[in-house]
Amino acid sequence: MRVGLVYHPVYLEHDTGSHVENAQRLIVTMSHLEENQLKDRLVLLSPRQATIEELSKVHAPEYIARIHKQAEGGGGWLDADTVISPRSYEAAIYAAGGALTAVDAVMNREVDTAFALVRPPGHHATCWQAMGFCLFNNIAVAAKYALANFHIRRILIVDFDVHHGNGTQDTFYTDSNVLYFSVHEYPLYPGTGSIDETGARGGEGFTVNVPLLAGCGDDEYQEVFEDVLAPIAQRFEPQLIMVSAGYDAHWADSLALMQMSVTGFARLVQILKTLADLLCQGRLLFTLEGGYHLQALPLSIAATLDTLRGNREIADPLGKQQSKSRTTNFDNFIRMVRSVHKLD
């Protein structure tokens, strides 16, 4: 299997100082891929810049100009969570462009699957607002690009970041061409992603939220993917699957309270790969969102890449934690989600 990796050192130039979303996330990941010789088994893809026109399919031109101007002016805080530095705008247009590069590589069959190892992340960014460490919504820009430039009409976006991707949901909330599926801890930042947020107008039914209580782990996430995501994907019949890959649901990550493990993430990736092979000729790509533990993150990304390459023997030196939410109430919750989306 040819697995593409999109990366560029410009992503390190988004200087956030001691912020939890910092350049070390990518530095330790690339070091891990090199030390384990996994990098040599991947197809390295060089990203391009996203154009203003491409960004404007998701973001207001005035917002794009404001981010550019603030970076040129030396940067600063955009909100309580999100900071930019003088090179952040350049890093951000390459981050969005990295997702576009992944789309091109997968759709043109240069690779079978691709992973965009980019920052700043994107899924919280809305049309007018940077938030949650995000400047431009990389995966939303890429989905708009794929619909406009390839002969496809249905894209499935799967978001397993521990935080709900409010920006991605907002972008496609009335759009039946993109089905947005999110599994996330709830309640948690940004406060969106309840079960009854299902889309509006022409997009009614094309937003699927699975808000989980803190303490869920590998078994609960696998059940969500098998009993909710899989039948929804089969009904939707996507022509491309795109994944907002956030690894902050790992038990070692301090930003949330989930109990996922490295092998648990690998299991989710295997389900996604199987769905892509079944439904859309294997067209599958990932773009990095969250994940802030500097051991768990590189291990989880490497497990993702190994699984995409067809390796089912995944090393997990950090091991597992026992999930804390497995009760009959969880099974009832899954039945409720299935009922909301008419899967029963």
Report the sign of the C-alpha dihedral through residues 117, 121, 122, 128, in that order.
negative
Residue 259 sits in a domain whose CATH number is: 3.40.800.20
pLDDT in tens, 287-312: 999 999 999 999 999 999 999 999 98
**Neighbouring-strand partners of residue 76:** 84
Domain ranges, residue 27: 3-340
Structure confidence at residue 211 as a pLDDT band (50, 70, 90): very high
Note whether 340 and 321 are within 8 A (CB).
no
Count of structural domains, the chain: 1
- Model pTM score: 0.98
- Specify the pLDDT at position 266: 98
Instruction: Write out the catalytic residue numbers.
Output: 124
Overall average pLDDT of the 330-334 stretch? 95
The two structure tokens encoding residue 242: 């795109």
> In this structure, which amino acid lies at residue 163?
H
User: DSSP character for 193?
Assistant: -
The answer, yes or no, to whether residue 169 has pLDDT greater than 80, is yes
pLDDT in tens, 216-257: 999 999 999 999 999 999 999 999 999 999 999 999 999 999
pLDDT in tens, 253-267: 999 999 999 999 999
Residues shown for the chain = 344
pLDDT in tens, 56-85: 999 999 999 999 999 999 999 999 999 999
Structure confidence at residue 323 as a pLDDT band (50, 70, 90): confident
Note whether 239 and 280 are within 8 A (CB).
yes
The answer, yes or no, to whether residue 325 has pLDDT greater than 70, is no
pLDDT in tens, 99-138: 999 999 999 999 999 999 999 999 999 999 999 999 999 9
Percent of the chain at pLDDT exceeding 90: 96
In the numeric block, the tokens 């649901």 are attached to 249
